[in-house]
Amino acid sequence: MTRTINWSKLILSLLALLLLAPAAQPRMPIVAPYQLHPLQDLKGNATQGSPEQMIVAAIDAIRDNRMADARATVDALLAKEPNYHLAYLLSADLYAMQAGQLDTMGGAAPAGTADKLEDLRREALVRIRREASPPPVTLLPAQLVSFSDKQKYAILVDAAASRLFVFQNNNGIPKYVTDHYVTVGKLGTEKVREGDQRTPLGVYFVDSHMSRPQLDKTFGAQADLYGVGAWPISYPNELDRREGKTGHGIWLHGSPAATYSRPPQASNGCVVLTNPELASVQDYLQIDVTPVVIVPKIDWLTTEQWQQRHTAALNLIDHWRQSWQALNLPNYLNYYSKGFSNSDGQNISSWTRQKTALAQARNDAQIQLSNISLFTGGKDGMLVATFDQDYRSKALDNRMRKRLYWRNEDGAWRIVWEGAAANG
């Protein structure tokens, strides 16, 4: 039987791909995720589910030479999300396959679109990997060490996998809730300076919310870049500023109206979700409370391994407290790095002199810690401890929210920064 190519639909799909595709970015070469075969003239069955489930199902159908099912699924997906770039790419390929075999995803696209196609192939691969290897929800993330009593949820971003995870505080134990595809910085992670187009690594906290009406009022026509809303996070944090890192405006935000989703690396440093998924995630966010932990890759632990890590970290904080309260100066100062500094600008030398004077004066105190949160993040797995500190002595009664940054130095955890915490 002779196949008739629907040239009008093919041209429409290709034009949509070109018009809606994001700007070209520098990328590494990508292996095509499937081998395309001529489309069969059969009525197919559309896979239903989330857009991500549908796009992966369509790719799987093409791989299995179930072209009619792929066609039906892509059509249903575009009816649901008419601005989904990757779905337009598959649609164009499927129409082109009526004329013969294609060797690679995007083989039907005109010359000169290589960078745009590479972005879409990267997105396809990221989504395929998520469906092929779902998160091990029976395991626990090593980076979420301990929730405070106020923290109902935590956000954990796996930059390498382009996934944002939501975990619930389940009686102190992180419980998987959901995960979503995200976009990170055009040039990856490890943000250092303003305008470097990288996403920071570390422990941050949601510090405000900007609704779409607020974005429109503030940014005018440019507000569409942020989609349905934005949740700024606390970059640069105290450690970032100590290390001279610059930049601002790192947000969790949505996508432009004409774009269902963006490539895995396409933002100026923000963490970007689709608009429907941001609307879902924002239900879990508490201003100045919810942690947003951004890591190169999540480390998954068994419950027993996680519990050992949790207990060891809490013991570390309590032994530090006990040494301070007992005025055991050698033990106490051994918890501090030689490169220590604090919020008042003191270094380890001035800090040692101050604490020595207090110990000699026998300024006995009772020190209690509560609402302790412990998270690890960043390139070197910095341990970030935040807690309410109640200090009572004859000379001083003080209650504050405090933060300590601990770095593992030659097998021992030592404090590199100490000061008041404005969030967390």
Q: Could you say which of 85, 209, 248, 253 is catalytic?
A: 253
Q: How far is residue 191's CA from residue 298's CA, in Å, rounded to a whole number?
A: 18
CATH fold of 302-420 reads Nuclear Transport Factor 2; Chain: A, (3.10.450)
Q: Could you say which of 37, 85, 209, 270 is catalytic?
A: 270
Q: How far is residue 408's CA from residue 187's CA, in Å, rounded to a whole number?
A: 28
pLDDT at 101: 63
Q: Which residues contact 245 (CB under 8 A, 6 or more apart)?
A: 191, 192, 193, 200, 236
Query: CA geometry: angle at 68 spanning 64 and 71, to 5°?
Result: 100
Domain ranges of the chain: 7-132, 140-300, 302-420
Confirm if 243 and 232 have CB atoms less than 8 A apart.
Answer: no
- Which CATH code, of 1.10.3730.10, 3.40.50.460, 2.40.440.10, 1.10.150.120, is assigned to 140-300? 2.40.440.10
Report the chain (424 residues): mean pLDDT per 10 consecutive residues: 39 38 35 50 85 95 90 95 93 77 66 77 94 93 97 98 98 97 97 96 97 97 96 97 95 96 96 98 97 97 98 98 94 97 95 89 86 92 96 87 96 96 93
pTM score over 0.75 = yes
The CA-atom distances, in angstroms, between 303 and each of 51, 94, 220, 308 are 32, 46, 48, 9
pLDDT at 382: 94
Query: Does residue 270 carry a catalytic annotation?
Result: yes
pLDDT at 3: 37
pLDDT at 114: 73
Sheet holding 210-211, edge to edge: 210-211, 229-232, 251-253, 271-272
pLDDT at 15: 37
Query: Does residue 209 carry a catalytic annotation?
Result: no
Angle, in degrees to the nearest 10, between helices 51-63 and 85-96 = 20
The CA-atom distances, in angstroms, between 290 and each of 153, 178, 236, 336, 409 are 6, 16, 16, 28, 28
pLDDT at 26: 32
| Cβ neighbours around 145 below 10 Å, total | 22
Confirm if 93 and 128 have CB atoms less than 8 A apart.
Answer: no
Q: How many CA atoms lie within 13 A of 391 on its CB side?
A: 16
163-170 and 144-146 as β-strands: parallel, antiparallel, unpaired?
unpaired
pLDDT at 378: 80
Q: How far is residue 125's CA from residue 263's CA, in Å, rounded to a whole number?
A: 11
